[in-house]
Each structure stands twice: as C-alpha cells, then as structure tokens.
Amino acid sequence: MAKTVTSLRDIETIALGSQPPGRPDDGGRGGGREPQPSVPEGSYRLAVLFALASISMLFLGFTSAYIVRQGLGGDWRPLDPPAILWANTAVLLISSATFTRARALLRREAIRESLRWLAITGLLGLLFLLGQYSAWRELAARGIYLHTNPHSSFFYLLTAAHGIHVLGGLLALGYLALLGWRRRLILMGTPDRMRRYGALMGATALYWHFMDGLWVYLFILLFLWR
C-alpha cells in the first residue's frame, strides 16, 4: 500500500517522479524496481478541467437563483459597484498575463525568472482579494450588508464564493512556487522533470485563468446585466 505523504520531499517526489537510483540525497530507496513514472502529465490538466466543470455548476446554481430572484418581488435594488471593483478586475486580468509570462519563461528554461513572475502573480492575486475585502468594507460603511436586499445578498455571496476559489488558487500557486524554488537545480537537470513541472504549472494556470474569467462573468451578471 502506498505510503501516506508526510513530507514536502515526498510531495515533490510524487509530483515530479521518483529519483533515479543512486542519487545521494535520497536516503536510498529500496532497490530492484525500475522507477516508475508518476501520473501521466495530462492527468493534471484533465483533473483541473473536470474540477472547473464542477465549479461551473456551482456558479450556475447561484446564477439560476440570481435570475429567478431578480424576476420576483419588487425589492430588487441593484447596487452601484464600488469603484475599487474596477481596479480589482484589472489586477486579476494582469495577474493572468503575468502567469502566462511565467509559463513562457519556463518553456525557455529560465527558471529563476519564471518563478519571479509566478511570485508576482501570487502577489497580484493577494492584492485582488484584499481589494475585494475593501469593497465589502465600503459597502458596510454605506450600510449595505448581506441581508439588506436581494442584490446585495448575491453580491456578498458571489464575491465570497469566488474569493474562496481564488484563495485556493493562491495556495496552489504557493505550492508551485515553493516546489520550483526548492528543486530548481534538479529541474534544470532533467527535461522530464521540467516537462512535468510545466504540466503542473499549466494546470494551475488553467484554473487561474478560469477564476479570472469567472470574475468577469460575475461582474457582468451583478452590474451590467439587466
């Protein structure tokens, strides 16, 4: 039965594949067996695609509730979007661009630079979340809370749900950055591992771009769709 993952090194090993026999810093894994490749690289992307399908259904559920509720009682009072939301949108879109740049740099094997842009992406993501929180504070200051009216309910709900998923993306980014930073020397040594790391990064990028697009969609739904 497979060992449970307990250390970062084990996580890395599973992500990147087991070390070839003989490397000194491995503590010598049991002999005899050929090192097997990990899960095929395509699996990361596939899993993210299906996860995104699931997440889409969540927001589709919310959307149908939104549309139904809007069509009901006359107490629908759409909010004016707090100005900072436009800035947040821009920040998120830029973070997608920085992520793309990080991937391009990885393909050219410029690992250090790639990780730098990855970090910038993460910071932008964090900035986005702080900006969303700031939008909440602004609304609270205006006396608009979750329960104030149906539109505000959906605003808080949708931004919170989206924000939680962005946070998840940030955690993935953090793991990716950590992994890349600690193992960058090894990565540079083996094309196999480079490709695998690229696949992980690609899958995370897919998730990230989707969160981007999802935010644009929610913004339109909340403020521009009548």
Q: Which residues here bind other proteins, judged by CB under 8 A?
A: 1-5, 13-14, 17-18, 29-30, 33-40, 42-43, 46-47, 50-51, 53-55, 57-62, 64-65, 68-69, 72-73, 75, 146-147, 150, 153, 157, 161
Q: Is residue 142 helix, strand or coil?
A: coil
Is the separation of the CB atoms in 197 and 16 below 8 Å? yes
Cβ proximity to other proteins, 31 vs 108, nearer residue: 31
Instruction: Determine whether 218 is exposed, middle or buried from the number of CB atoms within 10 Å of its CB (0-12, 13-18, 19+).
Output: buried
Cβ proximity to other proteins, 41 vs 212, nearer residue: 41
Q: How far is the CB of 63 from other proteins (least distance, A)?
A: 9
Q: How far is the CB of 85 from other proteins (least distance, A)?
A: 21
Cβ proximity to other proteins, 37 vs 189, nearer residue: 37
Cβ proximity to other proteins, 76 vs 181, nearer residue: 76
Angle between helix axes 191-219 and 111-141 (nearest 10 degrees) is: 20
Furthest C-alpha separation in the chain = 73
Choose among 135, 204, 183, 155: nearest CA to 8.
183
